[in-house]
Amino acid sequence: MASQQETDQQVNETVAVDDEGFVVDTEDCEARELAFRERGTSRPITVVGNPVLHQECQDVTAFDEELARLVDDMFASQRTAEGVGLAANQIGVDRKVFVYDCPDDDGVRHVGHVVNPVLAELPPERRVLDDANEGCLSVPTAYAELARPDYAEVTGQDLHGNPIRVRGTGYFARCLQHETDHLYGRLYIDRLSKRDRKDALRQMPEGTPRYPVVPNN
């Protein structure tokens, strides 16, 4: 996910979890993000129209060195593009993986990755919609208001194959939903009304992305 328009960021191998079994992704953020990114190579970002963004990605079945390198490259690419979240198909890789480096509404930074994410269904009383501006590195320079639940839980695995659960509120909840959507072939503009989608796409050619992109044929 793109950083908010108004504003313009070794490592534990075992996953720390809180009392409720959710990943603790708020500690040692700077060191963890740096370690991934420094091992990785930044890659250009795919943009709307590229088929890899519009189809469900493949499940990850091998938790090997190649997957670890992919996560490294995703952190490097996310940093170059100044994103707060990045899905594998945004660097052209057809695998269900996303990374994030995202603040919540309390200004707390969350850094992590999820392999094979599945968004948990929320009971109706937890579905409180939050209207906010959303952007995407794959829809460069465009933004649109989109209502989404202000709380999200994602289950999946870490890059070693350990089962994990991640939860977030506010802007970070939005990020978790946005990135999971990507891996099922859905962009945030696909959730907009026809008119708003058109408006967002129209904003694209008016701006120039601040990061390398993969040209569409």
The answer on whether 113 is annotated among ligand-binding residues is no
The answer on whether 182 is annotated among ligand-binding residues is yes
Which residue's Cβ has the minimum distance to Zn ion?
136
45 near Zn ion, rule: CB under 5 A: no
82 is catalytic: no
Distances from the Cα of 14 to the Cα of 23, 40, 117, 154, angstroms: 10, 20, 19, 19
The Cα–Cα gap between 39 and 43 comes to 13
The answer on whether 54 is annotated among ligand-binding residues is no
Q: Which is nearer to Zn ion, 1 or 166 (CB)?
A: 1
Q: Which is nearer to Zn ion, 35 or 214 (CB)?
A: 214
102 near Zn ion, rule: CB under 5 A: no
The residue length of the chain stands at 217
Q: How far is the CB of 85 from Zn ion (least distance, A)?
A: 7
144 near Zn ion, rule: CB under 5 A: no
Do strands 213-214 and 45-46 pair parallel, antiparallel, or not at all (unpaired)? parallel
136 near Zn ion, rule: CB under 5 A: yes
Active-site residue identified among 13, 145, 179, 206: 179
Closest C-alpha among 119, 118, 120, 115 to residue 157: 115
Q: Characterize 93-124 residue by residue with b for buried, 16 or more Cβ atoms within 10 angstroms of its Cβ, and e for exposed.
A: bebbbbbbbbbbeeeebbbbbbbbbebeeeee
Point out which span in 46-54, 74-82, 116-124, 135-143 binds Zn ion (CB under 5 A): 135-143
Point out which span in 5-13, 14-22, 46-54, 131-139 binds Zn ion (CB under 5 A): 131-139
Residues contacting Zn ion: total by CB under 5 A: 2
Q: How far is the CB of 87 from Zn ion (least distance, A)?
A: 7
3-state helix, strand, coil in the chain (%, to 5): 30, 25, 40
State the angle between helix axes of 29-39 and 65-80 in degrees (0 to 180), rounded to the nearest 10: 110
Q: Hey, what are 3's tokens? A: 């950083």
Point out which span in 27-35, 47-55, 62-70, 132-140 binds Zn ion (CB under 5 A): 132-140
The catalytic site residues sit at 179
Using CB under 5 A, list all residues that contact Zn ion.
Answer: 1, 136
